[in-house]
């Protein structure tokens, strides 16, 4: 009895200690967004795993119809249809390929966790959807005669990168640079992220008409994210100074 009780007590103490030491998710919104995007991708036609969408030409047709329904079609967005007005939000959760999905989710995981911790869950959720919506809206306005569908969370994730740059400029970011043989190197965010957005700007200037890669949405999203972080967290907090203690003898009645 004594031995069994001792073992049980040890196990209970060990379980309590493990539960206290186990890392808890401090960014549930970021992790939830990643899970939702992955789930919708697996269920949709782009993954090619759902037999309900068929195969071959039928699958390609289903993918086009799916992207047209849930993605942003700039030429239709400004016609005033209520359904089209929602597409800059629904497009944030739709991805066109495995590479598209995994690339976006990697960026969201790396930069979203700390940004969410700083902003808080509710504010981060509104920030993510709002900036993502406006980024796709800005791209659609610049390509208002395009009939190709635009999908992906890159506008919202670019906003997360912009906010991250303002909130954590000295944070180290691992980067793979092609001209350095893709060696993983760590640089401060204030070096990596401005260089990244500059590349997006150059690519947006050279991009042809119509949505291929929405570089302009990246630039708009990055600017929105940085501007929001500056407006929300950049102003110094004013602390009312406490009155200096009275010299001894002056506080006597």
Q: How many CB atoms lie within 10 A of CB 225?
A: 30
Q: Please report, in tens digits, the pLDDT of each residue of the chain (253 residues total).
A: 434 434 344 344 433 443 343 345 589 999 999 999 999 999 999 999 989 888 889 999 999 999 999 999 998 988 877 889 999 999 999 999 999 999 899 999 999 999 999 999 999 999 999 999 999 999 999 888 888 889 999 999 999 999 999 999 988 776 655 444 444 556 678 777 877 788 888 877 665 544 456 888 999 999 999 999 999 998 654 444 444 444 444 444 4
Residue in 167, 173, 156 with CA at minimum distance from that of residue 224? 156
CA 164 to CA 193: how far, in whole Å? 9
Rounded to 5°, the CA angle 37-71-148 comes to: 135
Residue in 54, 85, 88 with CA at minimum distance from that of residue 71? 88
Residue-level pLDDT at 132: 96
Q: Tell me the pairing of strands 184-188 and 172-176.
A: antiparallel
Q: Strands, E, within the chain: which ranges?
A: 172-176, 184-188
Instruction: Enumerate residues 6+ apart whose C-beta is below 8 A from 73.
Output: 84, 87, 146, 147, 148, 149, 150
Residue-level pLDDT at 184: 56
pTM equals: 0.78
CA 182 to CA 175: how far, in whole Å? 8
Residue-level pLDDT at 4: 41
């Amino acid at each position: 009895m004594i031995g069994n009780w001792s073992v049980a007590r040890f196990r209970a103490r060990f379980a309590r200690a493990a539960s206290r030491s186990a890392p808890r998710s401090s960014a549930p919104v970021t992790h939830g967004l990643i899970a939702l995007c992955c789930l919708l991708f697996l269920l949709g036609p782009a993954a090619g795993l759902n037999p309900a969408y068929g195969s071959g030409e039928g699958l390609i047709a289903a993918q086009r119809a799916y992207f047209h329904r849930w993605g942003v079609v700039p030429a239709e967005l400004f016609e005033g249809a209520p359904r089209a007005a929602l597409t800059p939000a629904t497009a944030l959760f739709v991805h066109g390929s495995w590479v598209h999905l995994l690339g976006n989710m990697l960026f969201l995981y790396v930069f979203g966790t700390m940004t969410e911790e700083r902003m808080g869950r509710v504010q981060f959720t509104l920030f993510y959807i709002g900036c993502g919506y406006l980024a796709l809206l800005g791209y659609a306005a610049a390509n208002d005669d395009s009939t190709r569908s635009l999908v992906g969370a890159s506008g919202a994730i670019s906003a997360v990168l912009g906010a991250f740059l303002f909130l954590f400029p000295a944070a180290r970011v691992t980067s793979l640079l092609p001209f350095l043989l893709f060696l993983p190197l760590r640089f401060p965010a204030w070096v990596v992220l401005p260089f990244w957005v500059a590349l997006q700007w150059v690519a947006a200037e050279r991009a042809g008409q119509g949505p291929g890669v929405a570089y302009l949405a990246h630039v708009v999203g990055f600017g929105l994210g940085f501007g929001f972080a500056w407006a929300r967290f950049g102003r110094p907090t004013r602390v009312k100074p406490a009155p200096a203690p009275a010299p001894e003898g002056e506080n006597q009645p």
